[in-house]
Structure 1
Amino acid sequence: MLTAIEMKDIVQKRSHFELGPVNLVIPKGYVTAIIGPNGSGKSSLFRCILDLAKPDQGTVEVLGEKVGAHDNWQLKRRIGYVPEVTSTINDHLKAEQQAAFTRKWYPEWDINRHQELLRRFEIDASLKLRKMSKGMRRKFDLIIAMSHNPELLLLDEPSSGLDPIAWKTMIDVIHRYMDSGERTVLMASHIIDEVRRLADYIVFVVHGRVLGMYEKDTLLESWSVLYTDIGEGNVHWQSMPGYHSAEYTGGSAYKAVTSSAVEAEDWCRSQGVRIVSKQRLELDDILTALIEQERIRIQS
């Protein structure tokens, strides 16, 4: 599998927050979603990738080039970026003026692609940026980021402010962007349905630490709640594969959470535990479970 981004031993220390050490490989040709609570370090990772902020230690490679070693202006031409917070510097410009200005920096700017995206997102290019609603400006930022057909697209909370129709359009546009198999998306999002629809891989980030990177479908198949009946016996739940928690629910019934569903079910049968029913966890429940594990780790 080819690599789009590689972060090695990245540490960034600030007075109120510490990121890392982060070791992370983002595969080329896929959509990878970073999810985690607000303030967990998602935007800090984006800034390190773009050389907008320097890590105190470690290295970042993007599309085969080391970031920060020299002026990476040629590398940045291969990247599209939608930040979490829109810049207001050029708010006095019309959308068409902003596009004309940006176009000068990108030799691969595709005017037909730009016009198509304006139509898809229903943006009036004669409108001044400061007159745009939050959702309209978000759509325009995405259009600008994609009009030069970048190899790598970085999206920090891309759907912030979008109405449901615009959100569905964004999902479709990104799917079509990925059709060639040669492009890569790294996105940070707290919209679970967005992650489910777009992501191939998921990275969980909490308190500046990467808790893991997972293939989405495998992850969703692995985490389950098992509703069980232990009968007359006693069960040492901590020995269950993928054990996260076990809660007594009355009589001889327990609710157990595991990150290794198949192995846990085999283990239950070997222990004489009857599985009454089972339910897969949603992404937000998995994140909550990982946050709880991290909290216990920090306190121990």
Structure 2
Amino acid sequence: MEELAIRVEGVVQRRKHFQLGPVQLRIPKGYVTALVGPNGSGKSSLFRLLMDLSKPDEGEIEVFGHPIGCDDLLLKQRIGYVPDQAIDIEDHLRAEDKASFARHWYPTWELNRYQELLRRFEVDPSIKLGRMSKGMRRKFDIALAMAHHPDLLLLDEPSSGLDPIAWKTMIDVIHRYMERGDRTVLMASHIVDEVKRLADYIVFIVHGRVLGMFEKDALLESWYTLYIDGAGRSLEWKAMPGFYTQEAVGSGQFKVVTGDVAEAEEWCEREGLRIAGRQKLELDDILAILIEQERLRMQA
């Protein structure tokens, strides 16, 4: 059984116009897991719960086997956190002042590592945080979060505001961070290429509900559009494994979307149907399908 970095058990957080959960989640240690979902789905709320910056109304959370909400100091020293929004009350501080303060809380803080990251991201630490561009502030926050060699990185939209060169640098920095094999990243992202490059696992979250956790490569190899010659036959398409939708596209051909392409192809063979073409779905297409399924579920 894989060792867990994070365990979320029956967590519910209620707000006036939004409810997160109930959330059941298991984040394995040693991998990059991406939270994917539209804005307002509860991704940032989940990060705040993991950092004990807000409290659940129900359920419990463990990080590395330790419950959140108790004596968290030693646990938080193992975590690097980049929130979605910068903290405005720090705007008057120079970057070097914030780093000087932060380093006292982390016994594993390494000045050389911090300065190396600043150089790679081309951040001037003498600038006040409030005068930095959004991208510059993001790069500083990432450097600060990684300077103490955390065992767990929580990254809430880490590429927000980054230009293409800084984005590539961030991807490389995270890849190098993971090389040791025992570190864990939980990130929220809406950038498809970012998820495809970094993530080992994908968690879809929509309207405060976790719709599922999937191994990335297996997920992307499962969802396909199949173009099938129906030969004028009347078929019960819903019997196809993984069936989602079908539509006629002329000349007796049908366009069918399935989330289980291997089983669907075997079904077609048994039914005597010829597959004229295959097209793999992209991650955003799969998310759109899951969102629509959730919408229909809520209307039922």
TM-score range, shorter chain: over 0.9
Distance in 2, Cα, partners of 1:31 & 1:100: 29
Could you list the per-position Cα deviations for residues 213-251 of structure 1 after superposition, in whole angstroms to 9, with x for gaps in the alignment? 000000000000001111032110000000111111123
Q: By how many angstroms is 1:97 displaced?
A: 1.1
Paired letter, 2:61: V
Could you list the per-position Cα deviations for residues 103-136 of structure 1 after superposition, in whole angstroms to 9, with x for gaps in the alignment? 0111110111001101100111111212211100
Distance in 2, Cα, partners of 1:191 & 1:243: 27
- What's the C-alpha RMSD, in Å, of the aligned pairs? 0.8
User: Is 2:201 the counterpart of 1:201?
Assistant: yes
2:11 aligns to what SS in structure 1? Answer: strand
Paired letter, 2:43: K
User: Is 2:39 the counterpart of 1:38?
Assistant: yes
Residues 230 and 272, structure 1, Cα contact 8 Å, conserved in 2: no
Length-normalised TM-score, structure 2: 0.98
Q: By how many angstroms is 1:253 displaced?
A: 1.0
Distance in 1, Cα, partners of 2:142 & 2:257: 39
Greater shift, 171-180 or 271-280, is seen at 271-280
Write out aligned runs for 1:130-141 (5 A): 130-141=130-141
| Structure 1 residue aligned with 2:231 | 231
| Structure 2 residue aligned with 1:297 | 297
Distance in 1, Cα, partners of 2:262 & 2:122: 47
| Structure 2 residue aligned with 1:53 | 54
User: Is 2:92 the counterpart of 1:98?
Assistant: no
User: Is 2:192 the counterpart of 1:189?
Assistant: no
| Structure 2 residue aligned with 1:21 | 22
User: Is 2:24 the counterpart of 1:5?
Assistant: no
Distance in 1, Cα, partners of 2:206 & 2:247: 25
Greater shift, 230-239 or 23-32, is seen at 230-239
| Structure 1 residue aligned with 2:288 | 288
Q: By how many angstroms is 1:149 displaced?
A: 0.5
User: Is 2:142 the counterpart of 1:160?
Assistant: no
Could you list the per-position Cα deviations for residues 256-291 of structure 1 after superposition, in whole angstroms to 9, with x for gaps in the alignment? 000100000110111122110001100000000111
Which consecutive residues of structure 2, in runs of 5 or more, have no partner in the other structure?
none
Residues 225 and 278, structure 1, Cα contact 8 Å, conserved in 2: yes
Give the fraction of aligned pairs with identical amino acids, expressed as a percent: 64
Could you list the per-position Cα deviations for residues 191-228 of structure 1 after superposition, in whole angstroms to 9, with x for gaps in the alignment? 00000000000000011110000000000000000011
Length-normalised TM-score, structure 1: 0.98
Distance in 1, Cα, partners of 2:90 & 2:295: 42
Q: After TM superposition, where is structure 1 displaced by more than 6 Å over at least 4 residues in a row?
A: none
| Structure 2 residue aligned with 1:253 | 253
Distance in 1, Cα, partners of 2:248 & 2:296: 20
Residues 35 and 203, structure 1, Cα contact 8 Å, conserved in 2: yes
Greater shift, 217-226 or 122-131, is seen at 122-131
Residues 235 and 271, structure 1, Cα contact 8 Å, conserved in 2: no
| Structure 1 residue aligned with 2:171 | 171
Q: By how many angstroms is 1:71 displaced?
A: 2.6
